[in-house]
Amino acid sequence: MRDDELGSLAQFAAGHPRLSGLIAGLTHGLCLALAFPPIGLWGFVFLAPLPLVLLGHLTRRRSFLAAFWCGIGMAPWWLLGHIWVVRVSAFGLVPLVITLSACTGLAVYLGAFVQRRAAWMLACWPIIWVGCDFFRGAILADGYAWYFLAHPLAETSVLNWPAAILGTYAVTLLVTLPATACVLWLIHMRAAATSLTAVSAVWVLLGFVVDPWPSASRTLKVAVVQTNVPQDVKLDWSMTQRFDDLQAMRRLIIAAAQDGPDVIVLPESMCPGWTLDAESLELERQAGLFFEYQPADSPPWKMEVTTLADELIALQGALGIPIVIGGPGYEGLELRPDDDGFWWYEADKNFNSVFVIEDGRAPTKRYDKIALTPFGEYMPYIGAWPWLEHRLLGLGARGMSFGLDPGQSTAPLTVSLGEEGGEVVRLATPVCFEATRPAVCRRLVGPTGHADAMFNLTNDGWFGSWKPGKEHHLLTARWRCIELGVSMVRAANTGISCAIDQRGQVLASGALDIRTGERVESNREGVLLVDLPLTDGRTIYARIGDIVGWACLGVCAGLVALSAAAARSSRRGDRTPSEPEAR
């Protein structure tokens, strides 16, 4: 681009900040849509920052208007990526899109703001972008670490390898360098442009020789049961439907056991009973609770409320294979009858838990989800006022309730393989949204060999038939393997179940329909059998965590503070009265 063309572009952007911002936001969103699933042309992540970098530089004197309209231009992308939220909360979709669009606009504004006093500060744009990404991904509403520029690069270890050393935010930082270098070159800051280009070249070249992941030392044979219980059924899971779904699970579990796996895993919250642990089941038995089962073609009959859990436990005992499954957990559970003869489950704390069923006995081992899903299991900030939370739920999320508590322990679940005294495998079991949180999975896996593998139990019925949402969820989870050097199995209700190796590569995806033998992925039930590689070592990132994210956030805050101070000083200088002339 010639200097006169760049000057014309700068004149247009300065004179039309609204239109320039809108075009930049739309272009950035289009690049992301092409880079992420289902299209998956990951090379577009390198083009995606270019319109934003250029916009911030050209409109730095009118940056607020440009950034505001850039956020509006990003709204279609955020809306497309979260259209599934309508099924959960039509009211919640609008503020979510506004918040995410505002985060993009904030990054553009801050990147432009620091350039007002010195154009060379454009070279700091990657740091500002990552600082804003880290704020969104780890701090705002406890973090929403989806749709980062790095994420589509999960497909290529040549480019994603820095995540095993410095985390995903480091890869996002590197992705923004080429676009920043291009703009620096256009404005004749050739030294800075050359430096960023050299860093990018070293990043790519090292990718062909660096292998920061531990090698697999053994394998674990895992059978994944992919259930297909729609979310509208889960929200109002009647006892008749629970019993029918248990029969479907029985068939799948028996089919999964045919090839002799070491362990069978089912998705999040798939325990069909109200309790599963030994203490809670005993309370139900002592109360003599029962429910009325209504078959489709026969009269109703009474069934003990523990029947659902008892059948599952008995099935495990008959098969002799440990079962990992999600279900409700309690602390201080009490059963209280009311005047109408109904019993109410009241507990000091309620958890979204993962259980291990072994030896045909009610489980005593469980993991309680430590990081609840914002706006899905609790209300950030708003939850401090229960009356307001209740009103908002009634307005935009009928059928949902936020009665869960976060767990405290990060200890892995242990599964004994074979006969007594055999090998013991330690499992980190991030539940659903937890697999998208880098810091959470790092705590669960441990910096020095805490867990041998990750089992991600998830209910992706929330996405309904919107498969791209499930693909994005899976894509984000893959980065936990890349960062930590630990393999993962995903057991997903409604799909997509899969196995991921320690480099983030998908080993097997979908499930086998036990009736037709067809390989299925989404909104179908089936069984997936995989040999999951286990590693003994840990990556550098597992030891040091997100230092790049925190550093970029700190530097970003410092640059903004210095720029603001310089602007105030300049304004004070402009207002200082001139010295009187000497006589």
pLDDT 10s digits, 75-84:
999 999 999 8
Higher pLDDT: 87 or 281? It is: 281
Name the token pair of 359: 């030896």
Length of the chain (residues) = 583
For residue 37, is pLDDT > 90?
A: yes
Place of tokens 């247009």: 12
Mean pLDDT of the chain: 90
Name the token pair of 193: 């442009």
pLDDT at 400: 56
pLDDT at 399: 53
What are the pLDDT digits (tens) for 451-460? 999 999 999 9
pLDDT at 583: 36
Among the ranges given (24-28, 47-51, 213-217), the one the predictor scored with the smallest mean pLDDT: 213-217
pLDDT at 105: 97
Binned at pLDDT 50, 70 and 90, residue 305 comes out as confident
pTM greater than 0.75 (yes/no): yes
Distance between terminal CA atoms of the chain?
56
For residue 87, is pLDDT > 80?
A: no
User: What percent of the chain is predicted at pLDDT more than 70?
Assistant: 92
pLDDT at 519: 92
216-371+406-538 maps to which CATH number?
3.60.110.10
pLDDT at 10: 75
pLDDT at 390: 65
Binned at pLDDT 50, 70 and 90, residue 216 comes out as very high
Residue 281's contacts (CB-CB under 8 Å, 6 or more residues apart) are: 275, 306, 309, 310, 362
Among the ranges given (364-368, 416-420, 522-526), the one the predictor scored with the smallest mean pLDDT: 416-420
Binned at pLDDT 50, 70 and 90, residue 289 comes out as confident
Burial of 387 (0-12, 13-18, 19+ CB in 10 A): exposed
Q: What is the mean pLDDT of residues 388-398?
A: 61
Name the token pair of 156: 């290529």
Q: What is the mean pLDDT of residues 463-490?
A: 96
Q: What is the mean pLDDT of residues 402-422?
A: 86
Residue ranges per domain, the chain?
A: 3-211+545-574, 216-371+406-538
pLDDT at 471: 96
pLDDT at 16: 86
Helix, strand, coil percentages (3-state) for the chain, rounded to 5, are 50, 20, 30
pLDDT at 398: 53
**Strand locations in 348-465, DSSP E?**
349-358, 361-368, 413-416, 424-428, 453-459
Q: How far apart are CA 278 and CA 189, in angstroms?
A: 68
Q: How far apart are CA 374 and CA 433, in angstroms?
A: 9
Q: What is the mean pLDDT of residues 233-254?
A: 86
Q: What is the mean pLDDT of residues 314-334?
A: 95
Higher pLDDT: 348 or 373? It is: 348
Binned at pLDDT 50, 70 and 90, residue 582 comes out as very low
To the nearest 10 degrees (0 to 180), the angle between helices 63-81 and 467-484 is 110
**3-class SS string, 179-246:** HHHHHHHHCCCHHHHHHHHHHHHHHHHHCCCCCCCCCEEEEEEEEEEECCCCHHHHHCCCHHHHHHHH
For residue 581, is pLDDT > 60?
A: no
What are the pLDDT digits (tens) for 126-152? 999 999 999 999 999 889 999 999 999
Angle of CA points 383, 384, 385, to nearest 5°: 85
Q: How far apart are CA 161 and CA 158, in angstroms?
A: 6
